[in-house]
Chains A and B, each alone.
Chain A
Amino acid sequence: MWVYEKKLQYPVRVCKPDVQMARYLLTQYGGPNGELAAAVRYLNQRYTMPTGRAKGVLTDIGTEELAHLEIIATMVYKLIDGVSAEEMRKAGLGDHYATFDGDLFPKDAAGVPFTTAYIAAVGDPVANLHENMAAEEKARATYENLIRLTDDPCLKDGLRFLREREVVHFQRFGETLMHVKDHLNSKKHF
């Protein structure tokens, strides 16, 4: 069960419309290291985790990623607010505009649509947790790329928040991995 909270996790500010940047940001919506992939990946892996701690970490981080998906959507919404078809076209979003107008569509910055292959899972808790740690590092690196791509201090602030969260998630997954390994070893040597 999930309950919607009518607020953002972190205030999203955008100093000026920037269609090009909206296009780049889409990669954190529907790209391989994006928030949609992360949320579904973690929530999908909960069911085979061996301990209460690991189930808790995947539930809570997966849920936080949904809040990040909303933050990215809000950034894109604000970046293209009031922008004309002509400006969308000039920034390379003419193809997006033709099909989706101002709606979001999960895809990466180059327009490659979201694929369920991003929702990595192998049924082995140790392998899954390694996957998640790598995913957090890739998301952190992607946010660093995005921060370098914009000169908007308002947008940078929100992106820095999201980058920080990936660092914390990586840390928590690392601790979970050690805990799960200990748990599996104690069962083996029994």
Chain B
Amino acid sequence: MRDMDAERLRMLHEIQEAEFTALELQLFLDTHPDHMGALHEFNQAAERLAHARRRYEERYGPLLSYGFSMSRHPWQWVDEPWPWEIEYPPRKDR
């Protein structure tokens, strides 16, 4: 299993957090489509996610397949580690 540098893990965490917020709000909006506040928060999370993803991909390569992310040469999609191989440092908050 691979250790990643701290900055990469921090950026990945930022993406996971923004995307989780967006996902949770998406499910909520599916059953509350008229909820203005949730929609506002969803759009904010989506923007945060787009920024975090762009910053990460500039440094570490594509996160999404099939043309949603671009690659440098040589084809970066096959770069390791794959998600299940990443060694996360222990949580500091517990």
Contact = CB atoms under 8 A, between A and B. Distances in A.
Contacts, number: 82
Contacts of B63: 5-7
B74 interface: no
B66 interface: yes
A70 B84 contact: yes
A78 B82 CA distance: 13
A70 B91 CA distance: 21
Interface in B66-92: 66, 68, 77, 82-84, 86, 88, 90-91
B27 A11 contact: no
What class of interface size applies to chain A in its complex with B? 20 to 34
B27 A4 contact: no
A157 interface: yes
A8 interface: yes
Task: Name the residue among A11, A13, A57, A175 with the largest chain B CB count within 10 angstroms.
Answer: A11
B65 A154 contact: no
B27 A172 contact: yes
Contacts of A145: none
Contact of A77 (B32, B64, B84): B84
Contacts of A9: 16, 19-20, 23
A27 to B, nearest CB: 19
Given A64-B23, A157-B91, A168-B24, 11 more contacts: A4-B65, A5-B64, A6-B64, A11-B13, A11-B88, A12-B88, A13-B88, A13-B91, A15-B90, A60-B30, A70-B83
